[in-house]
């Protein structure tokens, strides 16, 4: 049984885990992380710290399997106009390189939907760290996005959201210290299934998203 971590900032070094590891532009190459895939993007908080040229170089050199995380975050001091400009550039890069997109979004979900409707990208989007309500979640799903659930939010749920079908979500550790196995165990209990059943469902969803 393999457990998929759809978004993390740490290499798991666990033969029973598969992970999409988020890298910063300029990160060194590594050929020793078996079972790992990589994404690289310019987070809205890092605007001005990295250039698009650095991002492209890293995406191609590693090589990466996805672009991001990138997106919109209204909690930052960086202006939303500047954030959107960078986000649109990385959407275009995702399309050019035929790589899926990992999206960071804080309180800008409907702006996200507006941009997706306008640009009509072909590459699939993963909304990482999702902790919104059913109305927001269903709106995102209705526009073809997959939700990677916030581990902290998920562990505070007493029941699994009924509006989330099997093919619509993934699990992640992000920057938390929560063990991936604990997140899977809690989610499987909420859904009334075994960890093995859940792992099989999420492996298929992950493969369909990452490898289209």
pLDDT in tens, 75-119: 999 999 999 999 999 999 999 999 999 999 999 999 999 999 999
pLDDT band at 30 (very low <50, low <70, confident <90, very high): confident
Residue 32 per-residue DSSP state: -
145 and 125 in contact (C-beta within 8 Å)? yes
C-alpha dihedral sign at 81, 68, 181, 197: positive
Model confidence at 1: pLDDT above 90: no
Domain at 153, CATH number: 3.20.20.140
Please state the domain count of the chain.
Answer: 1
Phi, psi dihedral angles at 183 (to 5 degrees): -65, -40
- What number is the average pLDDT over the span 169-191? 96
pLDDT in tens, 45-67: 999 999 999 999 999 999 999 99
43 and 90 in contact (C-beta within 8 Å)? no
* Percent above pLDDT 70 for the chain: 99
Range of the domain at 166: 3-211
Q: Which among 14, 32, 172 has a CA at the least distance from the CA of 102?
A: 172
- What number is the average pLDDT over the span 35-43? 95
Mean pLDDT across the chain: 96
């Amino acid at each position: 049984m393999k457990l998929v971590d759809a978004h993390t900032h740490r290499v798991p070094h666990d033969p029973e885990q598969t992970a999409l590891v988020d890298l910063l532009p300029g990160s060194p190459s590594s050929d020793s992380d078996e079972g790992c895939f990589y994404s690289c993007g310019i987070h809205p908080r890092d605007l001005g710290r990295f250039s698009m040229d650095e991002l492209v170089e890293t995406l191609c050199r590693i090589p990466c399997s996805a672009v991001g995380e990138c997106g919109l975050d209204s909690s930052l001091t960086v202006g939303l106009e500047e954030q959107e400009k960078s986000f649109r550039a990385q959407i275009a890069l995702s399309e050019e390189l035929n790589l899926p997109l990992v999206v960071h979004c804080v309180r800008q979900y409907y702006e996200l939907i507006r941009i997706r409707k306008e640009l009509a990208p072909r590459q699939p989007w993963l909304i990482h760290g999702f902790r919104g309500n059913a109305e927001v979640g269903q709106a995102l799903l209705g526009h073809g996005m997959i939700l990677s659930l916030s581990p902290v939010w998920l562990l505070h749920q007493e029941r699994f959201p009924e509006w989330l079908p099997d093919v619509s979500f993934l699990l992640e550790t992000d920057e938390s210290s929560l063990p991936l196995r604990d997140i899977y165990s809690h989610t499987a209990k909420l859904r009334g299934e075994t960890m093995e059943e859940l792992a099989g469902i999420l492996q298929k969803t992950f493969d369909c998203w990452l490898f289209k």
